[in-house]
Structure 1
Amino acid sequence: VLVMILLLVRYGRGFVSNIAVLLGIVFGCFIAAGMGKMHFDQVAKAQWFDVVTPFAFGMPTFDIVMILTMTLVMIVVMIESTGMFLALSEITGRRIGQKDLAAGLRTDGLGTVIGGVFNTFPYTSFSQNVGLVGVTGVKSRWVCVAAGVIMIVLGLLPKMAALVESVPTFVLGGAGLVMFGMVAATGIRILANVDFKTNRNNLYIVAISIGAGMIPLVAPRWTQHMAHSLHPLLESGILLTAISAVALNIYFNGGKEDSAAAIEAAKAAEAH
Structure 2
Amino acid sequence: MDGTVRKHPVDEVLPIPRLAVLGLQHVLIMYTGCVTVPLVFGAAVGLDTSTIGLLINADLLVAGVITIIQALGVGRVLGVRLPVVAGATFAGVSPMILIASNHGLQAVYGSMLAAGVFGLLIATPFARVVRFFPPVVTGTVITIIGLSVINVAAGLILGPDPAADDYAQPVNLAIGFGVVLVIVLVTRFVRGLLGQLAVMIGLVLGTAVVGVRGDLDFSSVGDADWVGFAAPFHFGAPEFPPAAVIAMCVVMLVIFTESTADMLTVSKLVGKDLTRSDLRRGLMADGLSGVLAGFFNSFLDTVFAQNIGLLSVTRVRSRYVAATAGLFLVLLGLVPKMGEVIASLPGPVIGGAGLVMFGTVAAVGIRTLAEVEYEGTHNLTLVSVSLGLGLLPVAAPTAFVNLPEAFQTIAGNAITATAVTAFLLNLLLNHTGRFAPAGPMDSGVSVDAQAPAPVLDLGDVDRREP
Band the TM-score falls in, shorter-chain normalisation = 0.7 to 0.9
Q: 1:138 matched to which residue of 2? A: 310
- CA offsets per residue over residues 201-244 of structure 1, 9 Å max, x none? 21111111110101111121122221122221111111211222
SS in 2 for 1:138: helix
Cα distance in 2 between the residues matched to 1:88 and 1:250 = 23
Cα distance in 2 between the residues matched to 1:174 and 1:41 = 23
Q: 1:209 matched to which residue of 2? A: 386
Q: 1:125 matched to which residue of 2? A: 301
Q: 2:459 matched to which residue of 1? A: 267
Cα distance in 1 between the residues matched to 2:276 and 2:241 = 26
Contact 1:85–1:101 (Cα < 8 Å) also in 2: no
Deviation at 1:246, TM superposition (A): 2.1
- CA offsets per residue over residues 159-207 of structure 1, 9 Å max, x none? 11110110112212222222222221111111112211222x2111111
Q: 2:426 matched to which residue of 1? A: 249
Gaps of 5+ in 1: none
Q: 2:360 matched to which residue of 1? A: 182
Deviation at 1:103, TM superposition (A): 4.2
Q: Which has the higher contact order (CA 8 A, sep 6+)?
A: 2
User: How many residues are aligned here?
Assistant: 258
SS in 2 for 1:270: coil
TM (norm. structure 2) is 0.48
Cα distance in 2 between the residues matched to 1:25 and 1:45 = 23
Q: Pick the aligned partner of 2:226 from 35, 48, 51.
A: 48
1:198 aligns with 2:376: yes
1:108 aligns with 2:286: yes
**How do 1:7-156 and structure 2 match up within 5 A?**
7-54=185-232, 66=240, 68-85=242-259, 88=262, 94=268, 102-118=280-296, 120-121=297-298, 123-125=299-301, 129-130=304-305, 132-133=306-307, 137-139=309-311, 145-156=323-334
Cα distance in 1 between the residues matched to 2:389 and 2:336 = 42
Cα distance in 1 between the residues matched to 2:248 and 2:329 = 24
Cα distance in 2 between the residues matched to 1:170 and 1:269 = 43
Gaps of 5+ in 2: 1-178, 312-316, 435-452
SS in 1 for 2:251: helix
Cα distance in 2 between the residues matched to 1:172 and 1:57 = 24
> Hey, which of these two has a bigger chunk of helix by percent?
1
Superposition RMSD in Å = 3.5
Q: 2:410 matched to which residue of 1? A: 233
Q: CA 1:77–1:264 in 2, change beyond 3 Å: closer, same or farther?
A: closer
SS in 2 for 1:34: helix
Deviation at 1:262, TM superposition (A): 11
Cα distance in 2 between the residues matched to 1:234 and 1:10 = 40
